Structure 1
Amino acid sequence: MARYTGPKSKIARKFREPIFGPDKALERKNYPPGQHGPSKRRGKQSEYSIQLTEKQKVKYTYGVLEKQFSNLFKKASAKGGIAGTNLLQLLEARLDNVVYRLGIATTRSAARQLVSHRHILVNGELVNIPSFSVRPGDVIEVREKSKSLEAITNSVAGRTINKYSWLEWDSKNLTGKFIQFPDRESIPENIKENLIVELYSK
């Protein structure tokens, strides 16, 4: 399946969460989409359906395709510790997500585009693969020729204080550092990763 490019508000309403950022449509219609609106009777979800929905929500949130997600889960399971936490840490370490968290882009999809269009360096080397895994100590920066791009300057200008303890940011040089993998409590997304672990354990 190709990456989803349809209406984002529709997906946000499906999960009843602003997974793509603030959404006025979701605020007005905080119920799943459909021709019958909020009055439609919706049957009780099965355990499998709840688990699958949670996995889909995470995939949409981080912009990950099915095969990528499956491979990440295998990698998370192979590591020591809690598989669900490992999975979220691997998702947070994706280059497009790190660019978004640093405030270089306002959304993950915009960050993915910046990486793909060769505007981002990792440790001084050009990397144009959004799924590239950043490691602790890696330095992420905006390419010199790209620092004047309006999309980047506007995003950085709207950036507040550093919200994430696992990242460092140098606003003068548009340079960030991935200090460490975040602990579970530091990741702000409303995700029940235990449901995903249960789904893959079947």
Structure 2
Amino acid sequence: MSKRHSAKYKLDRAMGENLWGRPKSPVNKRSYGPGQHGQRRKSKVSDFGLQLRAKQKLKGYYGNITEKQFSKIYEEADRRKGNTSENLIALLESRLDAIVYRCKFVPTVWAARQFVNHGHVLVNGKKVNIASYRVKVGDVIEVRERSRNMALVLEALQSPERDVPDYIELDAKAMKATYLRLPELSEVPYPVKMEPNLIVEYYSS
């Protein structure tokens, strides 16, 4: 198992949840945490512990974004008008790697980051190789023509594992998608419950 895969599954085990809804997740067989103390009876978690866990879960879901990156995203969400929780989710979902994953061009969020970094994605006809690139409403995201026959892409698009959310309009045949609007938390297809309100409490305390 590669380092990247083991890190991903370790996060699933640590959280005790199948974060990405993958059938291969070890949580499907063992819901307890990793390590020799994983099966110990869980003690009551403090409010801070719940807030920290909510942050780690959301941060990890998007390919384990660095603390520095995540803090910057939160600060922008807090500056924007409206609900900070909803703003945070909208900003995370506007990342190019997140949209590539939502479009089912790749099987995992980890693969999405690599796919973008390797120059397989165009935004409005121009190559963008920065995974954290902020996609704007109305932008068109597509797989480069020379990358469209990659087995990774063809298998991901045909997978019944995930559905493309309503805030993205996908033309699967052309491997092209349009980012229609910023999503609300209730629209984002998280396989597990995300609690951005606890993250707001974490940064506010």
Normalising by structure 1, we get a TM-score of 0.92
**1:148 Cα offset (Å):** 1.2
**1:36 Cα offset (Å):** 3.5
Which residue among 187, 192, 196 is the counterpart of 2:195? 192
Q: How many residues align?
A: 199
User: Is 1:148 the counterpart of 2:146 in the alignment?
Assistant: no
Partners of 1:99 and 1:111 within 8 A in 2: yes
Higher RCO by CA contacts (8 Å cutoff, separation 6 or greater): 2
Equivalent residue for 2:119?
A: 118
Equivalent residue for 2:34?
A: 33
**1:5 Cα offset (Å):** 6.6
Distance 2:11 2:162 in 1: 30
Partners of 1:164 and 1:186 within 8 A in 2: yes
Partners of 2:51 and 2:202 within 8 A in 1: yes
Q: Which runs of 5+ in 2 are unaligned?
A: none
Identity score, percent: 39
The 3-state SS of whatever aligns with 2:177 is: strand
Specify whether residues 106 and 99 from structure 1 end up closer, same or farther in structure 2 by C-alpha distance, changes over 3 A only. same
Equivalent residue for 1:7?
A: 7
User: Is 1:85 the counterpart of 2:82 in the alignment?
Assistant: no
**1:108 Cα offset (Å):** 0.6
Q: Compare 78-87 and 10-19 and name the one that shifted more.
A: 10-19
Q: Which amino acid aligns with 2:30?
A: K
Alignment root-mean-square deviation, CA:
1.9
Specify whether residues 159 and 5 from structure 1 end up closer, same or farther in structure 2 by C-alpha distance, changes over 3 A only. closer
1:24-103 to 2 correspondences below 5 Å: 24-38=25-39, 40-63=40-63, 64-103=65-104
Distance 1:161 1:17 in 2: 17
Partners of 2:167 and 2:179 within 8 A in 1: yes
Normalising by structure 2, we get a TM-score of 0.91
Distance 1:98 1:115 in 2: 11
Q: 1:51-89: per-residue Cα shift (whole Å, max 9, x none)? A: 111101111101211011000001000111100110011
The 3-state SS of whatever aligns with 1:7 is: helix
The 3-state SS of whatever aligns with 2:106 is: coil
Q: Which runs of 5+ in 1 are unaligned?
A: none
Equivalent residue for 2:159?
A: 158
Distance 1:199 1:31 in 2: 25
Q: 1:86-112: per-residue Cα shift (whole Å, max 9, x none)? A: 001100110000000001011111111
Moved over 6 A (4+): none
**1:20 Cα offset (Å):** 3.5
